[in-house]
Amino acid sequence: MAQHDTTTKHRLWLYLEKPHPIIKHPTILSCTSPKIANQKCPKSTLASMAKPVSIEVYNPNGKYRVVSTKSMPGTRWINLLIEQDCRVEICTQKKTILSVEDIIALIGDKCDGVIGQLTEDWGETLFAALSRAGGKAFSNMAVGYNNVDVNAANKYGVAVGNTPGVLTETTAELAASLSLAAARRIVEADQFMRAGLYDGWLPHLFVGNLLKGQTVGVIGAGRIGSAYARMMVEGFKMNLIYYDLYQSTRLEKFVTAYGEFLKANGEQPVTWKRAASMDEVLQEADVISLHPIMDKTTYHLINKNSLATMKKEAILVNCSRGPVVDEVALVEHLKQNPMFRVGLDVFEDEPYMKPGLADMKNAVVVPHIASASKWTREGMATLAALNVLGKIKGYPVWGNPNRVEPFLNENASPPAASPSIVNAKALGLPVSKL
């Protein structure tokens, strides 16, 4: 390993001589600071930029500079970028959530595109910085993009990508897991066992809720909400009630067909209903799962009043975004109603929980892991990278962001298109005919 120019803080390059074991193109550099010269930034920004940000570099001679604010699973996404002449820089900073200043430092004075994370605040300041550096594309490694000010991106002509579809089933499976964990009190029972409290079978020990024949309620029956509904209907023979701004015809057809199948086999058929209001779902359902997007119409959708509408023994699951639920009201409701249970993957002030939530036995809490399966996370990285690459190369936008499978086939080259650009229309980007 050779070390150069260690006298200057901003140029501490460490060349790794060993080829990386999995990346096809072996050249990796590590350094502790990107070039930050000639940027017009507020003084406060410059001051915090003085701190070096550590990065790892692949294909240093690539024509296009693409920055990823985090290391992401898999290597396909890196290979796809370097095969198309990109120099890939991955931030290796230990800090979990990067600040706007950290990201400005990463962007530097020449950057063609950035792959970022849902924890980052992609607003006016960052899009201005990216645009100054010649950047044309940003992609969240997430389907939700409520951390992105799309209007600001439009103002600077920056394409904004997201990663739909590849995480639908994985996220729905976690929502189903939380539904079961809450219904059958799995975490409480696990803690009881580990505490050495089990001294024999008892008729009343950890009695929970049977799902079969009960009603599952879905708020936001889009990709994930529909996949979850199908799992609960087919897996546990639950009836469905859903609320969405749009009708989910495919979901309705599925439940109808499954109901007919059950009937033909002499079993009680399942039913479905599209509710005219969210309150109808809250009143009728035994398990309610939240899957809407996060915007001002869904902020505190579940609050003190809506909680009061729900059955005393209902189960509430949230795998959408934390602020969809008023968490202070939820803690109070959990205290007042010990038979009411929740399964939460997301939190209002992530990564923090509101006071009292951690003490509630009737709450199952996990750290925003709904999309965390290996296949999905690698696929998300691939889609995010291809969103950025597509814009850099001038490719059109894929026609149907709900059908992203062709981009995920590891044995074939991906289509020459950006899989999902949310502001394609606003920017007037061409749509692929493939």
Ligand X SMILES: NC(=O)c1ccc[n+]([C@@H]2O[C@H](COP(=O)([O-])OP(=O)(O)OC[C@H]3O[C@@H](n4cnc5c(N)ncnc54)[C@H](O)[C@@H]3O)[C@@H](O)[C@H]2O)c1
Ligand Y SMILES: O=C(O)[C@H](O)CO
Instruction: Indicate which residues carry an active-site annotation.
Output: 321, 350, 368
Q: Which stretch binds ligand X (CB under 6 A): 36-44, 119-127, 222-230, 383-391?
A: 222-230
Residue 60: Cβ-neighbour burial (10 angstroms; 0-12, 13-18, 19+): middle
Strand partners, 344: 318, 365
Strand partners, 55: 31, 91
* 172 interacts with ligand Y by CB under 6 A: no
129 Cβ contact partners less than 8 Å away, ≥ 6 residues apart = 39, 41, 103, 104, 107
Other beta carbons within 10 Å of 401: 21
Binding ligand Y (rule: CB under 6 A), the pick from 74, 135, 144, 208 is: 144
Q: In 3D, which of 125, 124, 115 has the Cα closest to residue 149?
A: 124
| Cα–Cα distance measured from residue 291 to residue 26, given in angstroms and rounded to the nearest whole number | 42
Structural tokens at position 429: 């980007």
Instruction: Say which entry of ligand Y, ligand X, none residue 201 contacts (CB below 5 to 8 A, set by partner kind).
Output: none
| Cα–Cα distance measured from residue 191 to residue 208, given in angstroms and rounded to the nearest whole number | 16
- In terms of CB distance, is 57 or 174 closer to ligand X? 174
* 277 interacts with ligand X by CB under 6 A: no
* 371 interacts with ligand Y by CB under 6 A: yes
Contacts of ligand Y in 188-217 (CB under 6 A):
none
Least CB distance from residue 402 to ligand X, whole Å? Answer: 8
Instruction: Say which entry of ligand X, ligand Y, none residue 292 contacts (CB below 5 to 8 A, set by partner kind).
Output: ligand X
Q: Which stretch binds ligand X (CB under 6 A): 2-10, 196-204, 213-221, 330-338?
A: 213-221
- In terms of CB distance, is 133 or 148 closer to ligand Y? 148
Least CB distance from residue 167 to ligand Y, whole Å? Answer: 5
Query: Whose structure tokens read 């599952």?
Result: 216
* 167 interacts with ligand Y by CB under 6 A: yes
Query: Whose structure tokens read 């024949």?
Result: 213
Q: Which stretch binds ligand Y (CB under 6 A): 49-57, 78-86, 137-145, 389-397?
A: 137-145
Measure the CA angle with vertex 223, ends 254 and 366; round to 5°.
115
* 223 interacts with ligand X by CB under 6 A: yes
Structural tokens at position 100: 């706007």
Least CB distance from residue 219 to ligand Y, whole Å? Answer: 16
Q: Which stretch binds ligand X (CB under 6 A): 203-211, 223-231, 382-390, 414-422?
A: 223-231
* 293 interacts with ligand X by CB under 6 A: yes
Instruction: Say which entry of ligand Y, ligand X, none residue 276 contacts (CB below 5 to 8 A, set by partner kind).
Output: none
Contacts of ligand X in 29-48 (CB under 6 A):
none
E strands of 102-200, at which residues?
113-116, 137-140, 159-161
Binding mask 135-154 toward ligand X (x if CB under 6 A, else -) reads --------xx----------
* 49 interacts with ligand X by CB under 6 A: no
Q: In 3D, which of 328, 233, 359 has the Cα closest to residue 287?
A: 233
Q: Strand order of the sheet with strand 363-365?
A: 272-274, 239-243, 215-219, 287-290, 315-318, 341-344, 363-365
- In terms of CB distance, is 159 or 334 closer to ligand Y? 159
Site for ligand X (CB under 6 A): how many residues? 30
257 Cβ contact partners less than 8 Å away, ≥ 6 residues apart = none
* 384 interacts with ligand X by CB under 6 A: no
Contacts of ligand X in 153-212 (CB under 6 A):
164, 167, 171
The bridge status of strand 55-58 relative to strand 272-274 is unpaired
Instruction: State the residues that interact with ligand Y by CB under 6 A.
Output: 118, 142-144, 167, 371
Instruction: State the residues that interact with ligand X by CB under 6 A.
Output: 143-144, 164, 167, 171, 219-225, 243-246, 291-294, 297-298, 319-321, 345-346, 368, 370-371
